[in-house]
């Protein structure tokens, strides 16, 4: 697999975006070690480093890349261009760096999650939302909520924090008059069903 230094050197990001990316890597490694110690550190790191590698592309650049690479977009994705960087970054991760499917899937889903998410998907979503450089109130609250649950030994700390983050994403989109993507709703509901089945609802 492509080594970390090569991935890091490939990034063409603003200072602000690079700081965020390194924060996500740090948070992802911590979250993975806590909840999924079997995950390979190099895969966690790779997913974090590349998750926003196309974030600063314009909408036109995102759409042109999707067209040139044969990336089929559904109606929701075409109407919500701001999440397309997950699709384009995942394709770069696969075709340029030959990264494993699990890494590319996590990159693709990092803004929305999905109903049947994998461990690395959950790690990257939460790390992206809670990394230490995030200053929005929702991100700060989610970070504090998760850390509090973890310190208290709550066995469902990860799942509860994911719901907190998904709820925040949904609220933001509602306030901005944006679409609520199907994957976001389905992942939230799936986690709540599982928590309810475990007596946590």
pLDDT at 48: 99
Helix axes 119-130, 157-176, angle to 10 degrees: 60
The answer for residues whose C-beta is within 8 angstroms of residue 196's C-beta and 6 or more apart is none
**Tokens encoding 28:** 């992802």
Q: What is the residue-averaged pLDDT of the chain? A: 96
Residue 113 pLDDT > 90, yes or no?
yes
Task: Provide, rounded to the nearest whole percent, the portion of the chain with pLDDT above 70.
Answer: 100
Which CATH code of 1.10.357.10, 1.10.8.50, 1.10.3210.10, 3.40.50.720 fits the domain covering 4-197?
A: 1.10.3210.10
pLDDT at 55: 97
CA dihedral 148, 118, 186, 135 (to 10 degrees): 40
Rounded Cα–Cα distance for residues 182 and 109 (Å): 12
pLDDT at 164: 98
Report which of residues 111 and 78 the model is more confident about: 111
Q: How confident is the model at residue 122 (pLDDT cuts 50, 70, 90)?
A: very high
Q: How confident is the model at residue 201 (pLDDT cuts 50, 70, 90)?
A: low
| Average pLDDT, integer, range 31-47 | 99
Rounded Cα–Cα distance for residues 100 and 97 (Å): 9
Number of helices and strands (H, E) in the chain? 11, 0
| Average pLDDT, integer, range 80-101 | 95
Rounded Cα–Cα distance for residues 201 and 196 (Å): 4
| Average pLDDT, integer, range 116-122 | 98
Query: For the purposes of burial, counting CB atoms within 10 Å of the CB of 174, is it exposed (0-12), middle (13-18) or buried (19 or more)?
Result: exposed
Residue 78 pLDDT > 80, yes or no?
yes
Domain residue ranges of the chain, discontinuous segments joined by +: 4-197
Residue 152 pLDDT > 70, yes or no?
yes
Residue pair 31/126 in contact by the 8 Å Cβ criterion: yes
Got the DSSP string for 86-147? Answer: HHHHHHHHHHTT---HHHHHHHHHTTT--TT--HHHHHHHHHHHH-TT--SHHHHHHHHHHH
pLDDT at 76: 86
């Amino acid at each position: 697999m492509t080594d970390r230094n090569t991935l890091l050197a490939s990034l063409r990001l603003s200072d602000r975006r690079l700081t965020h990316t390194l924060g996500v890597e740090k948070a992802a490694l911590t979250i993975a070690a806590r909840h999924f110690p079997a995950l390979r550190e190099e895969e966690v790191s790779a997913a974090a480093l590349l998750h926003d590698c196309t974030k600063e592309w314009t909408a036109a650049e995102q759409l042109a890349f999707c067209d040139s690479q044969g990336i089929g977009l559904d109606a929701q994705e075409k109407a919500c261009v701001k999440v397309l960087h997950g699709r384009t970054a995942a394709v770069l991760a696969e075709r340029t760096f030959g990264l494993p499917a699990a890494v590319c899937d996590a990159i693709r889903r990092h803004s929305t999650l999905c109903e049947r998410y994998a461990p690395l998907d959950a790690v990257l979503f939460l790390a992206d939302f809670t990394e230490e450089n995030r200053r929005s109130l929702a991100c700060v609250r989610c970070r504090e909520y998760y850390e509090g649950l973890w310190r208290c030994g709550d066995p469902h700390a990860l799942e509860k924090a994911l719901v907190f983050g998904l709820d925040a994403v949904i609220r933001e989109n509602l306030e901005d008059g944006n679409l609520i993507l199907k994957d976001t709703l389905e992942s939230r509901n799936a986690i709540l069903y599982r928590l309810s089945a475990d007596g946590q609802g």
